[in-house]
Amino acid sequence: MAGVKGMGMHFYRFDSPGRVKLEKISPEPPDGLGKQEAKARFEELNEELFALQDLMWGARTHSVLMVLQGRDAAGKDGAVKHVVGALNPRGVRVTSFGVPNEVERRHDFLWRVHLHAPGTGEIAIFNRSHYEDVLVVRVKKLAPREIWKERFSLINAFEETLVAGNCILLKYFLHIDAEEQEKRLLAREKDPNDAWKLNVEDWKERALWDEFTEAYEDVIGRCASADAPWIVVPANAKWYRNLVIAESVAEAMRPYRKKWRRTLDEQGKLVRKDLRAWRTGASRR
Ligand code: AMP
Ligand code: MG
């Protein structure tokens, strides 16, 4: 379950179903990893990701979907800003999922989500996702138990469908503790640039901290698989959160690099052959 990386990095990758206890996972960055060192590595990874994205875009055989989940102020928007900021916008799609609108409510819970799944070549990022339908819906009792319980297996089947279509799927839980959340919510309230992001619901949901913890533990425990792992990101420090996300997505894409390169080389050869044939034909005329 645990993923231990170089540079003293630690984060937890769940790639099979099982019991999850979030209180056993520290939301703090590991001791011994400095912020400057982490930032330098983050820059390096961004360059690598940019190159990988370019290869994937050209090869058009695979896609990437990053699902971001976490409590209010856990850093979902910050993760989007920092991780996507380094990519080529041509091939990136970010979708935020809020309270379902009237049309969405008249369809099954996956309908609005599937529409935004990435096409081959693309990287899609979900800021919240289909998981809200087993998280907020469960905790705030927006649907009866029989309904949301059935959704774990529906979600697994849906994600298997995406993976079968060559989607590299990663699901992130941005893990902060209650003190960090309080600090961030209060700081937002004071800052005129940030206050608009707040909502009374944030505080109401904070009061349901333990219920959300249980719901997240169930989600991670039931919907983790080798092809669609959950990654618990220690997110009390923003710089470490960004590093873990970049490192894990690079790690997931890296094994395909040679394959994408080969696909592009073969396509290049075919185009060159066509061009040669065309020039030869033209010179004869
Ligand atoms: P935020 O991401 O904080 O801007 O707000 C989005 C809000 O939409 C959050 O409070 C989510 O819990 C809520 N939300 C997202 N998806 C669903 C859903 N399927 N059902 C109910 N509420 C949802
Ligand atoms: Mg909110």
- The whole-number pLDDT of residue 159 equals 98
Q: Which tops the pLDDT comparison, 85 or 181?
A: 181
Of the candidates 233, 65, 57, 60, the one whose C-alpha atom is nearest the C-alpha of residue 160 is 65
Between CA 188 and CA 195 the distance in angstroms is 5
Average pLDDT over every residue of 72-82 = 96
pLDDT tens for each residue of 118-128: 999 999 999 99
User: Do residues 250 and 41 touch, judged by C-beta distance below 8 A?
Assistant: no
Q: Percentage of residues in the chain with pLDDT exceeding 70?
A: 97
* Domain contains 284: no
**Backbone dihedral angles phi then psi of residue 120, each to the nearest 5 degrees:** -60, 140
Question: Residue 23 pLDDT > 50, yes or no?
Answer: yes
Instruction: Give 274's contacts (C-beta < 8 A, 6+ positions apart).
Output: none
User: Of the residues 99, 133, 200, which should be mutated to test ligand 1's pocket, given the most ligand atoms within 8 Å of the CB?
Assistant: 99
CA 109 / ligand 1 centre spacing (Å): 13
* Domain contains 285: no
* Domain contains 280: no
Range of the domain at 89: 2-258
Instruction: Give 198's contacts (C-beta < 8 A, 6+ positions apart).
Output: 185, 188, 189
User: Do residues 250 and 66 touch, judged by C-beta distance below 8 A?
Assistant: no
* Domain contains 246: yes
* Domain contains 268: no
Identify which ligand lies nearest to the alpha carbon of 128. 1
Tokens standing for residue 75: 């850093």
Question: Residue 5 pLDDT > 80, yes or no?
Answer: no
User: Do residues 216 and 173 touch, judged by C-beta distance below 8 A?
Assistant: yes
Report the SS3 class of residue 142. coil
pLDDT tens for each residue of 216-271: 999 999 999 999 999 999 999 999 999 999 999 999 999 999 999 999 999 999 99
- Is the full-model pTM beyond 0.85? yes
Categorize the per-residue pLDDT at 1 as very low, low, confident or very high, splitting at 50, 70 and 90.
very low
Q: Is the CB of 100 under 6 A from ligand 1?
A: yes
CA 188 / ligand 2 centre spacing (Å): 12
User: Do residues 92 and 126 touch, judged by C-beta distance below 8 A?
Assistant: no
Q: Is the CB of 171 under 6 A from ligand 1?
A: no
Average pLDDT over every residue of 173-187 = 97
CA distances from 70 to 87, 121, 126, 154, 167 (A): 23, 27, 12, 21, 22
Average pLDDT over every residue of 95-99 = 98
* Domain contains 88: yes
Report the SS3 class of residue 117. coil
Q: Nearest residue CA, atom 4 of ligand 1?
A: 98
Between CA 217 and CA 134 the distance in angstroms is 11
- Per the structure, the count of domains in the chain is 1
User: Do residues 211 and 139 touch, judged by C-beta distance below 8 A?
Assistant: yes
Between CA 91 and CA 93 the distance in angstroms is 7
Query: What atom of ligand 1 comes closest to residue 201's alpha carbon?
Result: 10
CA 134 / ligand 1 centre spacing (Å): 11
Q: Is the CB of 136 under 6 A from ligand 1?
A: yes
pLDDT tens for each residue of 30-41: 998 999 999 999
Average pLDDT over every residue of 194-211 = 94
Question: Residue 2 pLDDT > 60, yes or no?
Answer: no
User: Do residues 38 and 45 touch, judged by C-beta distance below 8 A?
Assistant: no
Question: Residue 184 pLDDT > 90, yes or no?
Answer: yes
Query: What atom of ligand 1 comes closest to residue 136's alpha carbon?
Result: 12
Q: Is the CB of 177 under 6 A from ligand 1?
A: no
Average pLDDT over every residue of 116-141 = 98
* Domain contains 234: yes
Q: Which amino acid is at 163?
A: V
- The whole-number pLDDT of residue 202 equals 94
Of the candidates 271, 200, 244, the one whose C-alpha atom is nearest the C-alpha of residue 12 is 244
CA 277 / ligand 1 centre spacing (Å): 57
- The whole-number pLDDT of residue 282 equals 77
For residue 83, the 8-state DSSP code is I
* Domain contains 137: yes
- The whole-number pLDDT of residue 4 equals 43
Q: What is the CATH number of the domain that holds 197?
A: 3.40.50.300
Average pLDDT, the chain: 95
Q: Nearest residue CA, atom 23 of ligand 1?
A: 99
